[in-house]
Amino acid sequence: MIQLDILVIGAGITGTALSRELSRLNATVAVIDRACDVAEGATKANSGIVHAGYDALPGTQKAMYNVRGAQMYPGLCESLGVSYRKCGALVIGFDEADCAALRDLLDRGIQNGVRDLRLLSQKEALALEPSLNPEVLCALSVPESAIVSPYEMAFALADDAAVNGVSFSFDQDVTGISRLEDGTWQVTTSKDVFICKVLVNCAGSSGADLHNMISDQKLHMVHRRGQYYLLDRAAELPFSRTVFQCPSRMGKGVLVSPTVHGNLLLGPTAEDIPDPLDTATTSDGLSEILKKASRTWPALSVRTNITNFSGVRAHLDTDDFIVGPVPFAPGAFEAIGIESPGLSSAPAIAQDLSAMIASYLSLERKSSLRPFPKHPKPFHEMSDEERTVAVSTDPEYGRIVCRCEVVTEAEIRQAIRRPVGARTIDGIKRRTRAGMGRCQGGFCSPRVAQILSEETGTPLLRITKDGGHSYLLADTIGSFLKGGHR
């Protein structure tokens, strides 16, 4: 049994942002997640856009948190050493109805407090982004729109929280929650029992399920899958901005956007599915993306596609975020329905929740913080002089493990040794980009698996691609030959 002040359920972008805020308070805090790592749900598979905030209806939680959160991003990314680029966005329209919708968006944006929005003519839009479909009729320019790597953000937030005392624990599937007589909460998982004064539901796609375990006011959530194409960063980028089409009831539509790493992202689809863990891609979904994205980008080519993926966003029937205390459940807090613009909103949601919890528990802020161990510059981005110094300090900088993305052995070991370190091949991939390139780990995965095995003392046969039973290897050649599998 583990006793603590605050238990956060969910290590996605909201849970990690909250854990960092909570690490500033004099309290014992733990974050648990059912998956094997930080950012394993919607956080690892979304568009990576820090929206400016023109889309949400004025007066909604979404509108308020989006605009506030987006304003926090530059400073937060700076202090955490996470790449963030204000590349701007265009929302494009092809007919009069679209143009009317864009005027509405402009009004909404102004009401929400978004700066520098402007309607563009066809000519202006094409001048800014010459690869756009020349049939574009009008566009909304959103200079405040930015891009970020959502999982890198979550890793950094978690690391910062962890160095300041928050503990992280994975493969923790919550099986029961009950309120004890003394007013504390007992959370039972597949591995442990936690007793906490405060529990926070940041469980993403399981948010409604957890809520319904502790509240009589039942919520219903829809699992909305979004599929994507990710193109090689060697391919020339057609656009320097994120290009959206006019939003619909199902979301912001298919976008074409550069990523902070210089890849091109196409997607997402929006399909309501029964199983929140079903992150398969489908041929219908993939062809829909091509069809829709080619309307934005007529010269579309996916010849340089390196992977397809999908993420599942948590959509509440009420179409808005729920952030705050769970009614009639003292000590329980929640942030649920955190679909787009959830990435943009997370820092602000975390700030508010943390304040509510501090007040509920009458917590003081810590007098001093441990400085965040800024992640060293990636070898790939170093100058020749910096590389010389790096290799002479640590010779393992001299061994390139991932040739496509130029990731060194030193960086892979660092990723494992981070405060919330990588334990899987995909965990290494998302922290270092090893395996993220055009060969998709073909060359480097055997070596990465070996390093993981060495660093963590896990036998190679127990190394997984992404947790659970995703084992890389079946057995040794010796056991196979002895007929164990014939």
Partner 1 sequence: MVCEQLIDLLVIGAGPAGLAAAIAAKEEGISSLLVLEREKEPGGILRQCIHNGFGLHRFSEELTGPEYAARDIARAHELEIPIECDTTVLSVSPDRQVTCVSPKHGFRRFSAKAIILAMGCRERPRGALCTPGTRCAGIYSAGTAQRFVNLEGYMPGKRVVILGSGDIGLIMARRMTLQGAKVLACVEIMPYSSGLNRNIVQCLDDYGIPLYLSHTVTEIRGRDRLEGITVSEVDSNRNPIPGSEIRFDCDTLLLSCGLIPENELSQGAGVEISPLTSGAVVRETFETSVPGIFACGNVLHVHDLVDHVSNESFKAGRAAAAYIRSASSAETDTADVWKVQDGAGVRGTVPQMISKHPSSDVDLMFRPSAVFRNASAVVECDGVEILRKKSLIFTPGEMAVLTLKKALLDTLSGSCIEVRMEGGSSRG
Partner 2 sequence: MDKVITCINCPVGCRMTVTLSDHGEFVSVTGNTCPRGAKYAEQECTLPLRMITAVLPVAGSDTPLSVKTSSPVPKEMIAEIMEELSRVSISTPISAGQVILPNILNTGADLVATRSLL
Shortest spacing between CB 479 and partner 2, in angstroms: 9
Q: Tokens for 315, please give them.
A: 């959509």
User: CB under 5 to 8 A by kind: which of partner 1, partner 2, none does 384 bind?
Assistant: partner 1
Of 330-338, 339-347, 356-364, 474-482, which part binds partner 2 (CB under 8 A)?
474-482
**Three-class secondary structure of residue 26 per DSSP:** coil
Q: What is the largest CA-CA distance in the chain?
A: 72
Q: Which is nearer to partner 2, 457 or 478 (CB)?
A: 478
Rounded to 5°, angle at Cα 465 from 463 and 470 = 85
Q: Does 477 bind partner 1 (CB under 8 A)?
A: yes
User: CB under 5 to 8 A by kind: which of partner 1, partner 2, none does 438 bind?
Assistant: partner 1
User: CB under 5 to 8 A by kind: which of partner 1, partner 2, none does 366 bind?
Assistant: none
Q: Does 485 bind partner 2 (CB under 8 A)?
A: no
Helix (H) or strand (E) holding 405: none
Q: Does 481 bind partner 2 (CB under 8 A)?
A: yes
- Residue 51 annotated among the catalytic residues of the structure: yes
Binding flags for partner 2, 346-365, as an x/- string (CB under 8 A):
--------------------
Shortest spacing between CB 442 and partner 2, in angstroms: 20
Residue 358: how many other CB atoms lie within 10 Å: 20
Q: Does 344 bind partner 1 (CB under 8 A)?
A: no
With contacts defined by CB under 8 A, how many residues of the chain interact with partner 2?
6
Of 53-61, 140-148, 252-260, 475-483, which part binds partner 2 (CB under 8 A)?
475-483
Q: What is the dihedral of CA 209, 214, 215, 219, to 10 degrees?
A: -10
Phi/psi for 27 (5° steps) reads -155, 155
Q: Does 130 bind partner 1 (CB under 8 A)?
A: no
Phi/psi for 148 (5° steps) reads -155, 160
> Annotated catalytic residue: which of 51, 223, 315, 375?
51
Q: What is the DSSP letter of 25?
A: B
**What is the rounded distance in angstroms from the CA atom of residue 6 to the CA atom of residue 228?**
36
| DSSP notation for 337-395 | ---TTHHHHHHHHHHHHHHHHHHHHTPPBPS--PPP-PPPPPGGG--HHHHHHHHHH-G
**What is the rounded distance in angstroms from the CA atom of residue 159 to the CA atom of residue 19?**
10
Q: Which is nearer to partner 2, 191 or 482 (CB)?
A: 482
The footprint of partner 1 on residues 274-333 (CB under 8 A) is: 277, 279-283, 285-286, 302, 305-309
The footprint of partner 2 on residues 203-242 (CB under 8 A) is: none
**What is the rounded distance in angstroms from the CA atom of residue 202 to the CA atom of residue 338?**
9
The footprint of partner 1 on residues 57-96 (CB under 8 A) is: none
Q: Does 462 bind partner 2 (CB under 8 A)?
A: no
Q: Does 470 bind partner 2 (CB under 8 A)?
A: no
Rounded to 5°, angle at Cα 415 from 189 and 27 = 45
Q: Which is nearer to partner 1, 4 or 460 (CB)?
A: 460
Binding flags for partner 1, 417-456, as an x/- string (CB under 8 A):
---------------------xxxxxx-xx---x------
Among candidates 24, 19, 29, which has minimal Cα distance to 364? 24
Q: Which is nearer to partner 1, 179 or 387 (CB)?
A: 387
Q: Does 457 bind partner 2 (CB under 8 A)?
A: no
User: CB under 5 to 8 A by kind: which of partner 1, partner 2, none does 182 bind?
Assistant: none
Burial degree of 311 (CB within 10 A; 0-12, 13-18, 19+): buried
Q: Does 110 bind partner 1 (CB under 8 A)?
A: no
Q: Which is nearer to partner 1, 128 or 391 (CB)?
A: 391
Among candidates 146, 68, 148, which has minimal Cα distance to 351? 68
Phi/psi for 319 (5° steps) reads 60, 25
Contact 335, 14 (CB under 8 A): yes
Shortest spacing between CB 336 and partner 1, in angstroms: 24
Shortest spacing between CB 40 and partner 1, in angstroms: 12
Contact 160, 372 (CB under 8 A): yes
Contact 177, 187 (CB under 8 A): yes
Residue type, 42: A
Q: Does 254 bind partner 1 (CB under 8 A)?
A: no
β-bridge mates for residue 2, sequence order: 194
Euclidean distance between the first and the last CA atom of the chain, given in angstroms as a whole number: 44
Shortest spacing between CB 465 and partner 2, in angstroms: 21
Among candidates 118, 111, 114, which has minimal Cα distance to 138? 118
User: CB under 5 to 8 A by kind: which of partner 1, partner 2, none does 361 bind?
Assistant: none
Shortest spacing between CB 274 and partner 1, in angstroms: 14
Please identify every residue annotated as catalytic.
Answer: 51
Which residues contact partner 2 (rule: CB under 8 A)?
476-478, 481-483
Which residues contact partner 1 (rule: CB under 8 A)?
229-230, 234, 277, 279-283, 285-286, 302, 305-309, 384-385, 387-388, 390-392, 395-400, 403-404, 406, 409, 438-443, 445-446, 450, 460-461, 464-478, 480-481, 483-486
